[in-house]
């Protein structure tokens, strides 16, 4: 835990939150800024900064909690769909530096704006980028 981490404070019970699910690995609570009705954050109990810090085992446990929480939201709120969202780093809009997933129940397609514009590229144009990524993975 870091001294100033809001989510660590929620996990520790030091900061009030509306918790909708918890187990030995994760805590899920309603986001104080509801983007849609039932907008829920799922966080690991152990502090980790972001996707590069969580590690595959902890990420798997967190996803298990997210799937369980999504089922609770679906039963209780009956949304037409649901988005899952994550941001790593300030450039990607991460504002709380404790790994978390947003579960966003969707009731209409207009609930939220689309996060990006789709533009299909020729597959051949992606080869240099894929080669660059594969080369970095070997290094």
Span 98-110, pLDDT tens digits: 999 999 999 998 8
Active site residue 100: yes
The two most distant CA atoms of the chain are separated, in Å, by 53
Which of these is catalytic: 100, 102, 118, 132? 100
Domain architecture of the chain: domains with CATH? 6-115 (3.30.428.10)
Return the pLDDT at 3: 65
User: From CA 62, how far away is CA 66, in angstroms rounded?
Assistant: 6
Pair 89, 50: CB distance under 8 Å:
yes
The torsion angles phi and psi of 40, rounded to 5 degrees, stand at: -125, 140
Report pLDDT digits (tens) over 35-79.
Answer: 999 999 999 999 999 999 999 999 999 999 999 999 999 999 999
């Amino acid at each position: 835990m870091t001294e100033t981490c809001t989510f660590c404070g929620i996990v520790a019970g030091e900061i009030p939150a509306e918790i909708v699910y918890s187990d030995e690995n994760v805590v899920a609570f309603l986001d104080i800024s509801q983007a849609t009705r039932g907008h829920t954050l799922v966080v690991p109990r152990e502090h980790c900064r972001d996707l590069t810090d969580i590690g595959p085992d902890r990420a798997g446990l967190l996803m298990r909690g997210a799937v369980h929480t999504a089922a609770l939201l679906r039963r209780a709120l009956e949304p037409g769909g649901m988005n899952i969202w994550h941001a790593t780093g300030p450039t990607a809009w991460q504002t709380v530096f404790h790994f978390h997933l947003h579960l966003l129940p969707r009731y209409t397609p207009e609930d939220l704006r689309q996060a990006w514009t789709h533009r299909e590229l020729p597959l051949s144009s992606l080869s240099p980028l894929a080669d660059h990524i594969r080369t970095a993975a070997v290094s």
